[in-house]
Amino acid sequence: MRKIDKKKIGNNGKEIDRILKEIFGLEIKMESGFNDLHKSFNQLQRAVDNYARRADTYFQEMMMLSRKVDRLEKWIHQIAEKTGVHLRI
């Protein structure tokens, strides 16, 4: 942080006004940066949520498919047993 030279300030306070403008300018830039960061974080969060939703759907579909295959396999073995066909594993 800069030191304020009281000799430069003088009666009209132009140096103080310049410093205050600089400080407020930095405040505005910081606020804008935080807003941009917040927007980016929200986009990332939405992307992760969408991916998690898709992954959950995929895993549920894989579980259903696995059960279906198990059921079909069981039926094939039952049919083979009743018809006298020997299946090789």
| Domain assignment present for 1 | no
pLDDT in tens, 7-64: 555 555 677 778 888 888 888 888 888 888 999 999 999 999 999 999 999 999 999 9
Using CA atoms, how far apart are residues 25 and 19, in angstroms rounded to an integer?
10
In a domain, 11, yes or no: yes
Q: Say how far apart CA 79 and CA 82 lie, in whole Å.
A: 5
The answer to whether residue 56 sits within a structural domain is yes
Q: How far is CA 53 from CA 22, 43, 47, 50, 66, in A?
A: 46, 15, 10, 5, 20
Judging by beta carbons within 10 Å of its beta carbon (0-12, 13-18, 19+), is residue 9 exposed, middle or buried? middle
pLDDT of residue 57: 96
Total tally of structural domains belonging to the chain:
1
Q: What is the pTM of this model?
A: 0.53
- Structural domain containing residue 70: 6-83
